[in-house]
Amino acid sequence: MLTFAIALFTPARIGKGIPAPLIALFIGTGLVLTVLPGAPILGEVPTGLPEFRLPSFEVAELPRMIGSALVLAILGSLDSLLTSLIADSVTRTHHKSNRELIGQGIGNMVSGLIGGLLAYGWHKLVRRSRPA
């Protein structure tokens, strides 16, 4: 709730210099370290380059995996394309849907080979909001 409140009520003049979610991250981290020093920690942050991992699965799991992959691909595509439309309206540019989806697919496949998670189109807003 505190993070949401900070993001919502950060004055626009401050938000232009430092994004409100970043302010919320710093304040939240500071509060947890000072007020809740015994809070559980998720684990160590890995350092160095990630290790390459070949996927392993059983053939019997393949139909279920394909179904899950299709659902994630459809949701990711919708999210990415809607984010692209919003970014286009804000920046008055036009995205190339095929390039967005192919790049997202390649990125997600490579990410999976090094133990990463799926990512969708939020990067477009960050990339397009930066001055040229």
pLDDT digits (tens, 9 = 90+) for 44-94: 877 888 888 888 888 999 999 899 888 888 888 888 888 888 888 888 888
- Residue corresponding to tokens 């393949």: 62
115 torsion bin: left (phi>0), alpha (psi -120 to 50), beta (else): left
Q: Count CB-CB contacts under 10 A for residue 108.
A: 18
pLDDT of residue 63: 92
Residue 124's pLDDT band, with cuts at 50, 70 and 90, is very low
Helix 97-113 / helix 62-91 crossing angle, nearest 10 deg: 130
Q: Give the separation between CA 102 and CA 120, rounded to whole angstroms.
A: 12
Q: pTM of this prediction?
A: 0.52
The SS3 call for residue 50 is: coil
Q: Is the pLDDT of residue 131 over 50?
A: no
pLDDT of residue 126: 44
Q: What share of the chain has pLDDT > 90, as a percent?
A: 8
Residue 119's pLDDT band, with cuts at 50, 70 and 90, is low
